[in-house]
Amino acid sequence: MMTPAQNRAPKVSSVLLCLCCIHAFFSCAVRLVAGQTPKPVFACDVDGNPSLAAFGFCNTSWGVEARVADLVQRLTLQEKVGFLVSGAGNVDRLGIPKYEWWSEALHGVSYVGPGTKFSSPVPGATSFPQVILTAASFNATLFETIGKVVSTEARAMHNVGLAGLTFWSPNVNIFRDPRWGRGQETPGEDPLLSSKYAAGYVRGLQKSDDGNADRLKVAACCKHYTAYDVDNWKGVNRLTFNAVVTQQDLDDTFQPPFKSCVLDGNVASVMCSYNQVNGKPTCADPDLLAGTIRGKWKLNGYIVSDCDSVEVLYDKQHYTKTPEEAAAKAILAGLDLNCGSFLGQHTEAAVKGGLLNESAVDKAISNNFATLMRLGFFDGDPRKQLYGKLGPDDVCTPSNQELAREAARQGIVLLKNTAGSLPLSSTAIKSLAVIGPNANVTKTMIGNYEGTPCKYVTPLQGLAAIVSTMYVAGCADVGCSTAQTDDAKKAAASADATVLVMGADQSIEREDFDRVNLNLPGQQSLLVSEVANVSKGPVVLVIMSGGGMDVSFAKDNAKITSILWVGYPGEAGGAAMADVIFGDHNPSGRLPMTWYPQSYVDAVPMTNMNMRPDPATGYPGRTYRFYTGPTVYSFGDGLSYSSFSHGQVQAPQLVSVPLDEGHICHSSACESLEAKSETCSNLVFDVHLNVKNVGRFSGSHTVFLFSSPPSVHRSPQKHLLGFEKVFLASQSEAQVQFKVDVCKDLSVVDELGGRKVALGTHVLHVGDLKHALSVQIGSSGLSLSPPRHF
């Protein structure tokens, strides 16, 4: 028998490599002096210094704008520059302490970033599944609920001086290429799902419990803006990569999650990325920052750089000749805050050198101060405010830990289940072989941008709590340079059933490290095949990974009766896996990304940003919306222990779009119409359908509504309009309703980036059902044909 995997949670005293900032190190430990009570960081401590009450910016009866203006006019230029950087300076004469902007909360409060620490008052926080698995739940309510729990724990830690108030999460980049090491952090490849996740998680983090829309519980940040999804692939590095992106792909695929963050989530911050887009660094592009985020989308908050990216555009990309030019260009483009120290070092010289007016600095720090005002940072002691009673007892509560387990259960995807192999019976199965390099891991389960969890339940522990187990690692680690098959085969040959827990970890896929192939690492597939060949009972293959794997060999192997994908399932991942495998939970997760064969990455460079296929070159396109080639598993795939039927779908057959009599499209053939407000007013209809659970098991079911638009403007072959998750007891049914906004949901993006309503036949898909809907030009008013069953 092999010893348990050497994958243990990190000690809080260890020094961690910061995953966001190149070459920056910080200690995650905080040593408290014996008897010292940790205190939160805040400005305007009027109780401790009554003279501060004379400052307008400390007067809570003033509005945010007036308070910010009062503060800014009291600062010298040198002091102002200190508020352009993440390690913001202190101004003792005004009662303003140092503040660290950089904290992370991707899937729980994290120790990545110097703004948050774990120590004796709060040794850990709830570690939810990595985002890619939570997205697989397709449960928008869950997205927001997790965000609310994370922000509560963050506020509790803030009150004891262990966390800030500004959290640079979520990551809403599109998972465009399966090799991307950071795909695990994202909600997947679909713009609608990513947008729904982004807005939901942001609302959960930010929404104030007193209902005041101007206040923030914590400040979220959507990153990395934009078209960022290459880290380090075959010598191509994110710091110097120029993403060549068509305007159509930018507005159709890469921008929607960020737009939804701002417009639907009212996010307090957007982070610009390292890469260039079409030759311009994103953090120095006025069209992307001031023009779009703040201009078109009306961001109420601040724009922050990825760590050291302003220095990178000067030092690595050589976009400017001097550091002062780099500082000026970034601020003039709309950047407000620099993660790092570059703006602190060079902005004053840029102003004095005439490259930048001081008013531009005022504008930037005003956005930063306004965010802190909305957080209550300038309102005095937070322990006397709305969240003042939160403390260590509100972190890692039983209900929070149970939510982490439930989130993992809802996300786990059943990809194969031959002849009802699963669920296993806890009474019929007397012995279970548990095999694989991920079978007894801890830290692997929480992915990256992690924090110290409340506790771990490994896959082995979860399964051993139900039945007697025999554990064999089979590989020294996930790299599996040499599969050790003998003991594994003996265990499988004698056990009533076998569970193989394989896949990846951060040594295979991570920030600054993209994959070069999609196969199971090393000799993992050899171990799986040899064990399956001799197994006495059902064989369950569990893939723990962020990105998809080419497991065609297992999909086609009759001896491997079931396949589960569990992402990186969080602190309670092992318990959730056991719940699914033994039927305490009926799986309902669906893949949020395409699983491609190895042949795809052999043929397609990761650096080709084009979403749409090119028949002339054989380029196959990307994601389910455009990809035309074979898949191992497709976006939305996922099985249940039950069966669900869709029926009696109602939707109109005709939608007439009203146009003025003089419109050119009355006299000329038009393939699309501009999605303008005058065209789109009240252009909405409902789709109703019945869903029935016709199987023996109660469970949840995700209903997808897809549309295949007319073939205009190189439109997607199909795209997701909406999704709803419903729970149904065995033999019960429910009605599901989708509201379809014609200009939003049935429009496509044209070659110039404009949104157009495609005229002609749109085919709506619900499961195996299809319905043709014609969008035509009308004279005046909205005309809908009567709804029809299909």
Neighbours of 617 (CB within 10 A): 9
Measured CA to CA in angstroms, residue 772 lies from 291, 651, 779 at distances of 39, 9, 22
User: Cα dihedral sign for 770, 410, 430, 540?
Assistant: positive
Helix/strand/coil for 567: coil
Angle between helices 342-352 and 358-374 (to 10 degrees): 140
| Contact of 591 with 582, CB cutoff 8 Å | no
User: Order of strands across the sheet with 747-749?
Assistant: 672-674, 755-758, 747-749
Give the residue with greater pLDDT, 278 vs 20.
Answer: 278
Amino acid (one-letter) located at 201: Y
Task: Round to whole Å and give the CA distance between 324 and 144.
Answer: 41
* Whether pLDDT at 21 is above 90: no
pLDDT in tens, 280-298: 999 999 999 999 999 999 9
Give residue 658's pLDDT: 87
> Among 105, 144, 155, 42, which Cα is nearest to 394's?
155
Amino acid (one-letter) located at 553: F
pLDDT in tens, 145-192: 999 999 999 999 999 999 999 999 999 999 999 999 999 999 999 999
* Whether pLDDT at 732 is above 60: yes
Task: Round to whole Å and give the CA distance between 213 and 211.
Answer: 6
pLDDT in tens, 377-414: 999 999 999 999 999 999 999 999 999 999 999 999 99
Pairing label, strands 280-281, 562-565: unpaired
* List of residues 6+ apart from 412 with CB closer than 8 A: 133, 136, 564, 565, 566, 567, 569, 576, 577, 580, 587, 589
- Told to judge if 306 belongs to the known catalytic residues of this protein, a careful annotator would answer yes
Amino acid (one-letter) located at 185: E
* Whether pLDDT at 498 is above 70: yes
| Contact of 119 with 30, CB cutoff 8 Å | yes
Joined tokens for residue 495: 């056990």
Measured CA to CA in angstroms, residue 569 lies from 408, 576, 624, 699 at distances of 5, 8, 24, 20
Task: Round to whole Å and give the CA distance between 122 and 116.
Answer: 11
For residue 715, how many C-alpha atoms fall within 13 Å in the half-sphere facing its CB? 26
Q: Which residues pair with 769 in a beta bridge?
A: 766
Average pLDDT over residues 37-49: 92
Per residue in 105-119, is it b (16+ CB within 10 Å) or e — as a string?
bbbbbbbbbbbbbbb
Pairing label, strands 562-565, 413-417: antiparallel
Give residue 671's pLDDT: 93
Task: Round to whole Å and give the CA distance between 20 and 339.
Answer: 10
Give residue 790's pLDDT: 53
Measured CA to CA in angstroms, residue 732 lies from 491, 587, 697, 703, 726 at distances of 42, 18, 11, 15, 11
pLDDT in tens, 436-473: 999 999 999 999 999 999 999 999 999 999 999 999 99
Q: Can you give 608-677 as a three-state secondary structure string?
A: CCCCCCECCCCECCCHHHHCCCCCCECCCCCECCCCEEEEEEEECCEEEEECCCCCHHHCCCCCEEECCH
Amino acid (one-letter) located at 652: P
Give residue 25's pLDDT: 35
Mean pLDDT (the chain, rounded): 93
Average pLDDT over residues 255-270: 98
Q: What is the DSSP letter of 252?
A: I
Give residue 678's pLDDT: 75
Average pLDDT over residues 727-744: 96
Task: Round to whole Å and give the CA distance between 383 and 404.
Answer: 27
In the structure, what pLDDT confidence band is assigned to residue 660 with cuts at 50, 70 and 90? Answer: confident
Tell me the percentage of the chain whose pLDDT exceeds 70: 94
Average pLDDT over residues 478-500: 98
Tell me the percentage of the chain whose pLDDT exceeds 90: 89
Q: Which residues pair with 614 in a beta bridge?
A: 619
Give residue 788's pLDDT: 55
Active-site residue (options: 306, 308, 505, 750): 306
For residue 660, how many C-alpha atoms fall within 13 Å in the half-sphere facing its CB? 4
> Among 627, 515, 548, 511, which Cα is nearest to 228's?
511
In the structure, what pLDDT confidence band is assigned to residue 666 with cuts at 50, 70 and 90? Answer: confident
Helix/strand/coil for 711: coil
> Among 492, 500, 472, which Cα is nearest to 536's?
492
Give residue 120's pLDDT: 92
Task: Round to whole Å and give the CA distance between 21 and 540.
Answer: 40
Average pLDDT over residues 504-511: 98
Q: Can you give 286-320 as a three-state secondary structure string?
A: CHHHHHHHHHHCCCCCEEEECCCHHHHHHHCCCCC
Identify the residue whose tokens are 């993660």: 339
> Among 475, 476, 471, 462, which Cα is nearest to 571's?
462
Give residue 564's pLDDT: 99
Backbone φ and ψ for 667, nearest 5 degrees, come out as: -110, -15
Helix/strand/coil for 1: coil
